[in-house]
Amino acid sequence: MGINPYPYSCEITHKAEEIKASFPLLEGKTVRVAGRIMSRRVFGKLIFSHIRDESGDIQIAFQKGTSELSPPVEDMEPLKFAKKYLDIGDIIGVKGVVFKTKTGEISVLAEEFSLLAKSLYPLPEKWHGLRDKELRYRERYLDFIVNPEAREIMKKKSLIISKLRNFLDRKGFLEFETPVLQPLYGGATARPFTTYSEALDARLYLRISDELYLKRLLVGGFERVYEISKDFRNEGIDRLHYPEFIMLEAYAAYWDYNDMMEMAEELLTSLVQEIHGDTEIQYGEMKLSFKRPYKRVSFVGEIEKQLGKNPLGMETDELREAAEELGIPGAEKLPQHKIIDKIFDRLVGENLIDPTFVLDHPLILSPLAKKHRENPGLVERFELFVAGMEIANAFSELNDPVDQRRRFEELVKLRKKGDEELPPEIDEDFLLAQEHGMPPAGGIGIGVDRLVMILTNQPSIRDTITFPHLKPRS
């Protein structure tokens, strides 16, 4: 036929939504648009199609005697080409005049049109196509084509990350990139992904946290640092957990967890206000209020209210029995500190709906946080819960290298007892850095994907991820 169905480029002057929003100014003017054909109706000498670009849909009218094919095809009338060879799913470019149909729909009358990419497969049928969640995740590109709401989630996620970054930049924080491949994992408790460097002849791990490298920057003289990056944890997948996820971590020298609490409140409330225009939003069936100040509760105190006794005074067997009664899976194999954490999540965390700071965790749960200045059995730590899920975790950061070494040694002992989520050895390089003097600091980690879940009203973390992993097709 002599036509290239995959040309190199196309000039565009306007987006679909821009044309509709600026119709009074653009009526009768020539525009150039491009997009994917989403519908087609043939009426003799007229064809009406809707094309979809990133901004939305707009109707294109092809008319015999008016619309020309570019480049032209010998012995082929342009409208006949459009009828015979342009299909739903094809991407086209159009130069034409903006007008409004008799039914009042803003449209573009094509003076010139080009085929930019031929789709070799039909799109899913509009109403009965991508309804299956697994298929939507597996063929995500089709999900984005046929479900504008899926695209909107990703656009809003990009906006949210941009606003997080802008907020910290305004506060004087510097953004850094720290190693993704690490010789020893740390900063959290999780099973790592393991790889091997041929060049270094060494085993390496995909990071489970950025924390220990960002703290090295504090030692190096940078006073406010942050990173927004992917972390990787070789764990299960459910509505709140995914093996690779976006984490924001920020550290400020000379702050403590009270300062971080203040900043977290300001950050989240301003973010909600900017995204939604209000401090109250809907999440599922819940109405969430981000009006400051946020509620504050005690980690140990809330468990004690539910169990009728202080969990720190309970024996492991007694805690395990309580966990089993609550239906916590695998409780018979969990160490004491993990049982306490699971009991909190089940009895308290899942029921914290409005933004709530949970304060002052047991020392055994927080190896990188400073001991509480008034209660040495606790640490200065908070978790921020919203809609029953933890979205932030923060400390007054431990900067005493002697105390830090002692706690690392305890972690290694727990590892030898079978806790595979803990590193197998002490991070001597981090301790060496800390021994050179790390300033007192506050630090925070925010789970960006969970935050996006809440701000876009999505039930699962996978709905906020562009291309979520699935098990291989059977």
Residues annotated within a binding site for Mg(2+): 383, 390
Question: Which residues belong to the annotated binding site?
Answer: 383, 390
The 3-class SS string of the chain reads CCCCCCCCCCCCCCCHHHHHHCHHHHCCCEEEEEEEEEEEEEECCEEEEEEECCCCEEEEEEECCCCEECCCCCCCCHHHHHHHHCCCCCEEEEEEEEEECCCCCEEEEEEEEEEEECCCCCCCCCCCCCCCHHHHHHCHHHHHHHCHHHHHHHHHHHHHHHHHHHHHHHCCCEECCCCCEECCCCCCCCCCCEEEECCCCEEEEECCCCHHHHHHHHHCCCCEEEEEEEEECCCCCCCCCCCEEEEEEEEEECCCHHHHHHHHHHHHHHHHHHHHCCCEEEECCEEEECCCCCEEEEHHHHHHHHHCCCHHHCCHHHHHHHHHHCCCCCHHHCCHHHHHHHHHHHHCHHHCCCCEEEECCEHHHCCCECECCCCCCEECEEEEEECCEEEEEEEEECCCHHHHHHHHHHHHHHHHCCCCCCCCCCCHHHHHHHHCCCCCEEEEEEEHHHHHHHHHCCCCHHHHCCCCCCCCCC
